[in-house]
Amino acid sequence: MTEDFDPLAPEDFDSPHRTYARLRRECPVAHSDAWGGFWAYTRHADVIAAAADSDLYITSKQNVVPKVAFTGRRPPLHLDPPEHTPYRRALAPLLTPQRVARYEPVIRSICAELLAAMAARGGGDICEDFSARMPIRVFNAWMNLPDAQAAELAEVGRRYNIAVQSNDMEATQETSLRLYEMARAVVADRKRNPMDPSEDATSALLAARVDGAALPDEMIVGTIRQVLVVGIIAPTVMIGSIAVHLARHPDLQTQLRANPGLVAAATEEFLRLYTPYRGFARTARTDVTLHGRTIPAGEPIALVYASANRDDAVFADAESFRLDRPNLHESVAFGRGPHACLGAALARLEMRVALEELLRHTPGGFELAGEIMTTRFPEIGALRVPLRFG
């Protein structure tokens, strides 16, 4: 099999997007030999079609490229409809835009505290000092976890992220198991100390019923384990990428500071331009022929959301940031179909408030102060961004 691209080749912040632009033009159904071999859909139309077709494209065999789920099934992402539905149904009422809006003061307070500390030092690594910490504290509030767990979750999540980025399978399994232990502790505590299911995610999962039967304990643990990591890594990378863009474009910083009402639109465009995922996977139940290539049944396919969101066939001048983009509803930053991100409203709120507070705490602007460290599959974007505050 011909290798059309090498995801293990050295990358900088911009190079993956050049690769995906080439693949969209020349080889929209691409193959790589990495991690035992996988396919990649890079065009918007193909990505959304696959994401929406859960009858043909399943997630239960492999949900990301590279495969990192070695320690158990984690609903709802590792399950196909209708098996995944009870888990999403239990969590969905806790993640509506109206519901998560109550966390805005909490998020703003956390952002202000972390950014004030950075400002006092004249800057720092926006990922290490801010975006890797803020989402964990927000998650603790949403999950009703005690503050004492924040430090451990931050450290284990950081080590897990590094292990995945480094393709270190031994460390990935070790840290994943530790995250499972933390999730089991949360479930055990809720059984001892129940909370209102309308106010608490773990209690909602414990209260859920399918044909009168409770959800299996180990699957509830898997759900909590899944949420633990999804709520950490993507915001870290996303905010890092936003900071890189703004550091490169001080005029945009100035515009947004002068017009705070534009921050919400800027957040949506940043989510399109710097979508943090490129490796969410599906597996076709039968052979699939697309753009003249046949993918055998059972082989992993990466849906490259980050590429789809820069497809010129959908977004005019797609590689550029535009505040007035008319069709942002076409963005797949949060996926499509039955596995669309349940936490999209909370993530949007975190991103908007983080951007507002970053601009507010840097009235003199900020610039890059060192080398950007980037992520590898399955995420895409910045993992380390040293900044100097003006």
**Structure confidence by residue, pLDDT tens digits, 35-71:** 999 999 999 999 999 999 999 999 999 988 988 665 5
Please give the Cα distance from 322 to 157 (Å, whole number).
33
Say if residue 102's pLDDT is above 80: yes
Asked if 126 and 117 count as a contact pair (C-beta separation under 8 A), the reply is no
Q: What is the mean pLDDT of residues 124-151?
A: 86
Say if residue 306's pLDDT is above 80: yes
Domain segments of the chain: what residues?
15-389
Comparing 249 with 165, the larger pLDDT belongs to 249
Q: What percent of the chain has pLDDT over 70?
A: 96
Say if residue 117's pLDDT is above 90: yes
Q: What is the mean pLDDT of residues 239-254?
A: 98
Of the given ranges (149-153, 210-214, 324-328), which has the lowest mean pLDDT?
Answer: 149-153
- Contact residues for 9 (Cβ-Cβ < 8 A; gap 6+): none
Residues 277-294 have pLDDT tens digits of 998 999 999 999 999 999
Residues 166-177 have pLDDT tens digits of 667 788 888 888
SS in 3 state form for 40-105? EECCHHHHHHHHHCCCCEECCCCCECCCCCCCCCCCCCCCCCCCCHHHHHHHHHHHCHHHHHHHHH
Say if residue 157's pLDDT is above 80: no
Phi/psi of residue 41, nearest 5 degrees = -95, 125
Superfamily of domain 15-389: Cytochrome P450 (1.10.630.10)
Q: What is the reported pLDDT for 4?
A: 96
Q: What is the reported pLDDT for 229?
A: 75
Please give the mean pLDDT across all residues of the chain: 92
Asked if 381 and 274 count as a contact pair (C-beta separation under 8 A), the reply is yes
Q: What is the reported pLDDT for 52?
A: 96
Going by their DSSP bridges, the two strands 300-303 and 38-41 should be labelled as parallel
The full length of the chain comes to 390
- pLDDT band, residue 78 (cuts 50/70/90): confident
Q: What is the reported pLDDT for 313?
A: 98
